Structure 1
Amino acid sequence: MTTTLLVAGTASHVGKSTVVAGLCRRLASEGVDAAPFKAQTMSNNAHAAVCVGKDAAYGEIGVAQYVQARAAGVVPTTDHNPVLLKPRGDAESQVLIDGRPGGHVSAGDYYEHRWERAREAAVAAYERLAADHDVIVAEGAGSIAEINLQHRDLANVETARFGDAEILLVGDIERGGVFASLYGTLELLPEDVRDRVAGLVVNKFRGDRSLLADGIEELEARTGVPVLGVLPHDDPGLPEEDSLSLPAREGSAVRGGEDGVAESRAVTIAVPRLPRLSNATDLDPLARVPGVRVAIRSPDATLADADAVVLPGTKNTVDDLLALREAGFDERLRAFDGPIVGICGGYQLLGQELRGADREGTGEHENLRGFGLLPVVTRFGDEKTIRQVIRTVEGAGPIDGASGTATGYEIHAGETRVERPLPAPIGPDSAATEGVLGTYLHGVFHAESVREAFVEAVFECAGRERQGGDAESPSPFDRAAELVEGIDLRKAVDLERVENGSDRLRSPDQ
């Protein structure tokens, strides 16, 4: 019999995804056959995974569930995240069930016409996972105490019920009011769901834990629910599930650059904060390079202090093109003389023209001019490409000197055609000039050869001497497992029964 633990939260962004990844890694390291599950995710950070229940080879799941599956040492499949909602603007989201797109709907239409089908898919996916694994570590969404949604809360309330789950409730002390948040959340839960709460976790704590002792004692006395862990504030380096960690359109944020390299010797890679930005995790490998700052900025921000520009993916290339043009970004980009890379939707933006734009955008534009930095044309149709790929790297342009292979995935609408002969440094659907590269490959900077060549080009163009190469660091999965060591897991999950009754004990895939 499978044991299910639901990691729920008092709010969004309290650390649920990291806790689930850490628990998956911790259980796998202890020989327990575990798997992650999230019934429904809303995120534009998606990853290709093996498709279950459909004819297609690959489908889309939230990047957090992909990471959690890898942490558990299992092959990521669409069963780990059977329902994915990808916001696209105009109060609409693309609905993907079992990894495959099923149209665009408003929130009202989703709950009225799609939710029952989504629930059926989630239950079926859960049951398949439960048949193959001893422990399911499920992740909730947002707050489990949204009383206006509890009758249709697929990721929290419904998962707790159909998965017969024990619940670990996580609160974020950095937000302030963690005791009130935990207490209030418990009070607002349906009685049958509250009875499933096995323990509470205080996350992101800085300082002396003894200072919490009186509060923890009082909270346990008032609720009858034990605090099973106080976790330190730390970032193990896992990809973000959504864009909450990125700045708002008018704001800016910097990743990386905190590695001891003098500011005068560092380089800055500017990234426009697209209104519908997706797959921001493509930037993470660059932000981990010593001496590299990834500056995520509003579309109307200057590029004067930038040494390179990366245009990331977008859920809606057409509408983001119009937003960038309105902000004057295209003019500033054409005047920029450093290395430029466009990934997926960013690649499409760099081209001469977008055709069939009314199929992609929310307006009525049939054809639109692109930024004109690459001689390519993108045509949108009804088909969507979702696949995992390995590309041969033949360095050119901003990645001159790169070689070997790059492994990643493609998720995009539209097909891009090169209008005149150009180097294709990352497979046949890429294109490069001397200073500009476009590719559909998500995860391209995870390839060491590509990353190193691009970083070297950025330093050379900036006229700065690079201080060392990539820094070695522990696996983010192992760091996440260490982070959750403070959770008294055996008070939430009957691991002794699992260990004594399973013939599937194993070690994670490193």
Structure 2
Amino acid sequence: MTDANNRRAAATIMLQGTASDVGKSLLATAICRILKQDGIKAAPFKSQNMSLNSYVTPDGKEIGRAQGMQADACGIAATTDMNPILLKPKQDMAAQVVVHGKPFADMSARDYRERYLPEAEQIVKAALARLRDEYEAVVLEGAGSPAEVNLKDRDIVNMRLAGWADAPVLLVADIDRGGVFASIVGTMDILEPEERDRVRGVIINKFRGDVSLLTPGLEWLERKIGKPVLGVVPYLDDLQLEDEDGASLDSKGYRKKAATGQELDIAILRLPRLSNFTDFDPLLQEPGVNVRYVRDAREWGEPDVVIVPGSKNATEDLLFLRNTGLESLLLRHIEEGGRATGICAGYQMMGRRLLDPDLVESDLPEVAGMNLFPMETTYAKDKKTERVIGTVAAGFGAVSPGAEIQGYEIHMGRTDFLEPVLQPFLVQSSRLTGEQAPYQRYHPYQPFHPDGAISEDGRLWGTYVHGIFHNDRFRHDWLNEVRQGNGLAPSDRITAFGRLRELSFDRLADHVRLHLDMEAVYRIMNGGERE
């Protein structure tokens, strides 16, 4: 395909699914990596993403985590053109609409569909056109299923998008959940004739077992739908790649605590509106560390560390902790000398008050916090999203002062301290005090921006910085501090999480290349042969 200037636009391929969570994101990631391995300059694209697990681009904008990961697999910097519209659920029937990385409005599902989708269509088309002008190939990912008949007339993420992109479609189905043949045949039957024509092949994903036993079914399927099965991709365990949806936490295989008690037990509170849970992926790869998500008091156990994670609605999730008794257990844990950490909204909950005069978070203008630090957070409509670099302000135990930290911030609240505190947790060098940093009255750190707070003994700390545990040296030293506090021997092994992630991209790509007919995929991409 060529544009008005006779310059060839990027080739396209699109993955759509028979349902949500069939593995579209990971298969798209694999194809992105394969294209990179084969020397093709490729980019990912998902027009509209719904996720609380977001990614901050190098220029400080917010997109879906999956497209950020796919850009990393392509070896390129992520931009908002790769995910121009991000929906972040706040309540059951309402979401924050993020357009090109910045909050646009809070909308109900009906208002978004009836009033905003026509405008969103133009935003999506423009973003896709820019990508096709810059790259040699674009790997598109759909959402949910293209067979949702009640949504098709204003679709901007499945078959209508495929038409705008002139993209051939590969239909992905999950055999692990059962009913794979019915889901494929049913999807194809619901599609309009021109939509069925756009489907060029089928991928059966998450297979477990002997593929030869599946052969009669595959032959029947190809005759039934008139499309080839391009691959049966076996389930791949233990990938160090992030998930897009919190539902995946139900299927993650967490290590069980050793009977000897020689493992650290880290409990993460599973909030109803948990966001950016990928903050804790590096902890899952640490030997001698047991990580588990706790959603009610019965699962509390005897944790060594409790983490209060990020949330899209800190007010309502704090009330959830209060109503379920988890807050009481956390406070007792701290009173008895236990360790606790708050990340972003979890850090905000540790203060004395959450103030919401404009009802940005909920319909409650004020909610009492946990009163662990002398601070209050006020919510406003402006949202802060940026990459940050800093250092640990003061050492505690095995964590030395001056340790470098990199991460990102995504939050709508401003935290102010009501009285002097011992020390901030971090000193960031990415922002100046001209923004009236919350410690300005009580700390002489100039010209840097202090972040978070830490108790005198280092057992309690909080920060706005997401991704802090992705810093290998900090994570290693912090875990050793907890080990030493528990009378355990420190570890001398530093887990290089970034390296594990890169190896996982290649492992995923090699796995998919082995089980997917990539020569056929290359031929299908916009009808062109691989050059």
TM-score, normalised by the number of residues in structure 1: 0.91
Amino acid at match of 1:379: T
Equivalence for 2:228: 226
Equivalence for 1:477: 505
Separation (CA, whole Å) in 1 of partners of 2:255 and 2:49: 31
Equivalence for 1:242: 245
Partner secondary structure for residue 94 of structure 1: strand
Separation (CA, whole Å) in 2 of partners of 1:190 and 1:391: 54
Amino acid at match of 2:519: R
| Contact 2:205-2:232 at 8 Å conserved across structures | yes
| Contact 1:416-1:429 at 8 Å conserved across structures | no
Identify the match of residue 210 of structure 2 among 195, 203, 208.
208
Equivalence for 2:436: none
| Contact 2:50-2:87 at 8 Å conserved across structures | yes
Please state how far the C-alpha of 1:395 moved relative to its aligned partner: 5.0
Equivalence for 1:16: 24
Identify the match of residue 269 of structure 1 among 260, 266, 269.
266
| Contact 2:361-2:379 at 8 Å conserved across structures | no
Equivalence for 2:384: 385
Deviates more, 1:283-292 or 1:489-498: 489-498
Partner secondary structure for residue 203 of structure 1: strand
Partner secondary structure for residue 125 of structure 1: helix
Partner secondary structure for residue 412 of structure 1: strand
| Contact 1:282-1:443 at 8 Å conserved across structures | yes
- Which residues in structure 2 correspond to 1:88-103 (within 5 Å)? 88-103=90-105
Deviates more, 1:484-493 or 1:272-281: 484-493
Separation (CA, whole Å) in 1 of partners of 2:280 and 2:387: 19
- Which residues in structure 2 correspond to 1:346-365 (within 5 Å)? 346-356=346-356, 359-363=359-363, 365=364
Please state how far the C-alpha of 1:150 moved relative to its aligned partner: 1.4
Please state how far the C-alpha of 1:81 moved relative to its aligned partner: 0.4
Separation (CA, whole Å) in 2 of partners of 1:241 and 1:202: 20
| Contact 2:360-2:381 at 8 Å conserved across structures | no
Partner secondary structure for residue 493 of structure 1: helix
Partner secondary structure for residue 123 of structure 2: helix
Separation (CA, whole Å) in 2 of partners of 1:398 and 1:44: 34
RMSD: 2.1
Partner secondary structure for residue 522 of structure 2: coil
1:422 maps to 2:422? yes
1:289 maps to 2:286? yes
1:369 maps to 2:368? yes
**Structure 1 132/464 Cα, relative in aligned 2: closer, same or farther at 3 Å?**
same
Q: Deviations over 1:211-231 (max 9, x none)?
A: 111111111111111111111
Relative contact order, CA 8 A, sep 6+: which one is greater? 1
Please state how far the C-alpha of 1:18 moved relative to its aligned partner: 0.5
Q: Deviations over 1:278-326 (max 9, x none)?
A: 0010010111111212111114345342111111100011111111111
Unmatched 5+ stretches in structure 2:
1-8, 428-449
Equivalence for 1:174: 176
Separation (CA, whole Å) in 2 of partners of 1:479 and 1:368: 47
| Contact 1:289-1:469 at 8 Å conserved across structures | no
Please state how far the C-alpha of 1:382 moved relative to its aligned partner: 2.1
Amino acid at match of 1:443: G
Equivalence for 1:490: 519
Which is greater in Rg? Answer: 2
Amino acid at match of 1:477: F
User: Would you say how many aligned residue pairs link Structure 1 and Structure 2?
Assistant: 487
Equivalence for 1:508: none
Please state how far the C-alpha of 1:162 moved relative to its aligned partner: 0.6
Equivalence for 1:122: 124
Please state how far the C-alpha of 1:402 moved relative to its aligned partner: 6.3
Q: Deviations over 1:39-69 (max 9, x none)?
A: 001111111115xxxxxx4321000100000
Equivalence for 1:505: none
Separation (CA, whole Å) in 1 of partners of 2:397 and 2:507: 33
**Structure 1 261/135 Cα, relative in aligned 2: closer, same or farther at 3 Å?**
farther
| Contact 1:257-1:290 at 8 Å conserved across structures | no
TM-score, normalised by the number of residues in structure 2: 0.87
